[in-house]
Amino acid sequence: MNNLFFLFIFVPLLALILLGLNILLAVHRPDEAKVSAYECGFNAIAGQTRSTFQIQFYIIAMLFLIFDLEIILLYPLAVSLYQVSTFGFSIALIFFIVLTIGFVLEIGSGAIRLTNNET
């Protein structure tokens, strides 16, 4: 048994088996909370699970992903800061400056504002 067997055969097979067991054995009792709209303020229409969804939630989610991915770049820098010398530190400083400019533009454009002023 090598690693490729587990990666390409065993793991997908196990995932399909577990999904099948979930479909067969799970209790299906939808209530009002499960079929209602998720955090968008609209009530669900009877017989329809989809409803209108405000775009601000998608924008906030995308901006969170973009600015949260900086952690992936900051952790290696923090670990190896003693080895990267002045050049590595200056590159990290440029990264922080670009990140700060992007965050200032985000706040300036009003993308973080959650209130709807189109009344």
With respect to residue 1, please indicate whether it lies within any of the assigned structural domains.
no
With respect to residue 91, please indicate whether it lies within any of the assigned structural domains.
yes
With respect to residue 13, please indicate whether it lies within any of the assigned structural domains.
no
With respect to residue 73, please indicate whether it lies within any of the assigned structural domains.
yes
With respect to residue 65, please indicate whether it lies within any of the assigned structural domains.
yes
Backbone angles phi, psi at 81, to 5 degrees: -65, -30
Q: How confident is the model at residue 48 (pLDDT cuts 50, 70, 90)?
A: low
What pLDDT is attached to residue 17?
96
With respect to residue 10, please indicate whether it lies within any of the assigned structural domains.
no
The count of domains in the chain is: 1
Distance between CA atoms of residues 109 and 93, nearest Å: 24
Task: Single out the residue of 35, 61, 57 nearest to residue 46, CA to CA.
Answer: 35
Is the Cβ–Cβ distance between 99 and 69 less than 8 Å?
no
With respect to residue 40, please indicate whether it lies within any of the assigned structural domains.
no
Tell me the average pLDDT of the chain. 77
With respect to residue 24, please indicate whether it lies within any of the assigned structural domains.
no
pLDDT higher for 22 or 40? 22
Task: Single out the residue of 71, 74, 98 nearest to residue 84, CA to CA.
Answer: 74
What pLDDT is attached to residue 18?
94
HSE of 59, CA atoms in CB hemisphere, 13 A:
12
Q: How confident is the model at residue 105 (pLDDT cuts 50, 70, 90)?
A: confident
Give one DSSP letter per residue of 45-87, joined into a string.
PTT-------HHHHHHHHHHHHHHTHHHHHHHHHHTTTTSHHH
Instruction: Flag the least confident range among 4-13, 21-30, 38-47, 77-86.
Output: 38-47
pTM of the complete model: 0.45
